[in-house]
A and B are shown apart, each in its own frame.
Chain A
């Protein structure tokens, strides 16, 4: 530890590990530390022993759940959008060689008391039980419009301007019912609330196209998932960093972020040792987590909301999903009189995350009341009998400064979205703050390994 580094990274969550990997490849000398004795921070996947240690320190896992090592339980439920930004980084950095992916087998949406498959194009829309006969025709026209849109060809615009007209105008143009708008905006564009409706339609259009192109890529759903759990992702990027010279220290308590008289970053103290670097990156838990931190008395991160997540062990697939081994179910907020959607993400032994005949469903939403556990009841009710349940309510922290003045660069907590697009945005944002240039993933020719 008696060396100087370019960057110290605190916490081995996915955001921090992607940054470590990219910075090491760029030639930076990186020291990466974590207070835990496992990789992944908040985005880790835990085995049974670790899960019980975290949620029920006084209880041992029941023997009937099977072998400890067969479990990799995600703390944050997210899936990878097949054609999304994380996929691009995985391919660009070639960490795909350490990982193996499977599809998520289905994508469902809740409407009027039941769940149905999310149609992803006009053909599926016509067959979907989500809509009545006339609504199907309207939806078909809507999807044809989206898929036919070409910026340079006004004939495809049907009088609409995606950059000016709101999504409300677009929905109204095709006469879509509120319930249809719900599944398009929430289960395809993946908006968590209805704010998008009164904004220009372009981002919603982009998100729907991302959904449909991801869906078309592998067929069953727009999502893919790494075998052995999401915790494999930070590990893969940590290895990338290590291969390019990054130094890794787990199980290392971080006692102080040391700054000079002007508040600029100097180093990190662990026990009696202080290790110095030009810059520090870390997740909010290393920077006071909402409290004024250390001698500086400065509040470095603030809470901008809370997420409730209930990890549920089931002994059966989710009812109404054709016994699929994995799925996502979205309950749009309007359907249950909320402001934020409820998400269900389910995986199983097909993804090597639990014993055979166990299914792990995580129900989550943004907290709106004083009794968050009551808020997820509509989601829990879709699961059937729940064998066991581990509930957490976690604050979402965001940094108060961009770090340029003190060389302290803080990442954001993992949000309630069902995918990693916002994680990649955070990576790009931190990169830009640190490197003072955009993160450019050079296109590389994919070589086939012999």
Chain B
């Protein structure tokens, strides 16, 4: 029987580095040149099937623009199994910002979180300001995964998510394995489900 996992993935990075575009490419294989800031879904999901038939479903949370004025809620990091921290290879300031996000994750998020540093916009390599060596060195020092992508052409996008999908099941806490319920990040939900109508009769009391 093939194994199934589900993980919560959060995106981080400065505004306009292409976080949403990256997800849109990964989930829907689309790109929109004039995409404005994020409006839309609560979160998107995409499943990666590995060579050994293990399937890894990502529940992907976008910042919904709340990162712009330092207003991301702690809820955003809560129970995140992995984070993709995006910078723009044509803006060296965006790598600095990525470092800040990574420190924030190390402070706020689960200590076991898998962090991938992602240099986006390789289609604009002519204007590159961040070298591969520099980013890779930093990633190695901090124990992060690293990759470069172009949400516009699709280059490297599947590779980075697949690499995360391969790494996660190996280090995920046992509670995350085979999580069954749809919504939750890591552990299968144990609490009450408000969406479920009362099982008991509709009488005002259960007598």
- A residues touching B (Cβ–Cβ < 8 Å)? 37, 39, 69, 82, 87, 90-91, 94, 96-98, 100-103, 120-123, 143, 146-147, 209, 212-213, 215-218, 224, 227-228, 232, 235-236, 238-240, 242-245, 247-252, 446, 448-450
Contact = CB atoms under 8 A, between A and B. Distances in A.
B205 A212 contact: yes
A249 B69 contact: yes
Classify the secondary structure of B's interface with A. loop
A237 to B, nearest CB: 10
Contacts of B78: 228
Q: Which 4 A/B pairs are nearest by Cβ-Cβ distance?
A: A449-B182, A242-B64, A248-B71, A121-B205
A224 B198 CA distance: 14
B40 A122 contact: no
A147 B97 CA distance: 61
Interface in B183-207: 183-184, 189-192, 194-195, 198, 200, 203-207
Interface of B: 38-43, 64-66, 68-71, 73-76, 78, 108, 182-184, 189-192, 194-195, 198, 200, 203-207
Contacts of A147: 203-205, 207
Contacts of B70: 37, 250-251
B65 A248 contact: yes
Contacts of B69: 247-250, 252
A216 B201 CA distance: 9
B66 A239 contact: yes
Contacts of A228: 75, 78
A244 B38 CA distance: 9
Contacts, number: 107
A122 B205 CA distance: 9
Given A123-B207, A239-B66, A251-B70, A448 B182 contact: yes
B6 to A, nearest CB: 11
A96 B182 contact: no
Given A147-B205, A449-B182, A96 B75 contact: no
B194 A90 contact: yes
Nearest to A238: B73
A101 B191 contact: yes
A96 B184 contact: no
B198 A243 contact: no
Nearest to A211: B204
Nearest to B71: A248
B62 to A, nearest CB: 8
Given A98-B75, A147-B204, A213-B204, A242 B65 contact: yes
B66 A248 contact: yes
Contacts of A209: 204
Given A147-B204, A235-B74, A250-B70, A245 B192 contact: no
B81 to A, nearest CB: 16
14 contacts: A37-B70, A96-B194, A100-B184, A123-B207, A147-B203, A212-B205, A228-B78, A238-B66, A242-B65, A243-B39, A243-B40, A243-B64, A247-B68, A248-B71
B71 A250 contact: yes
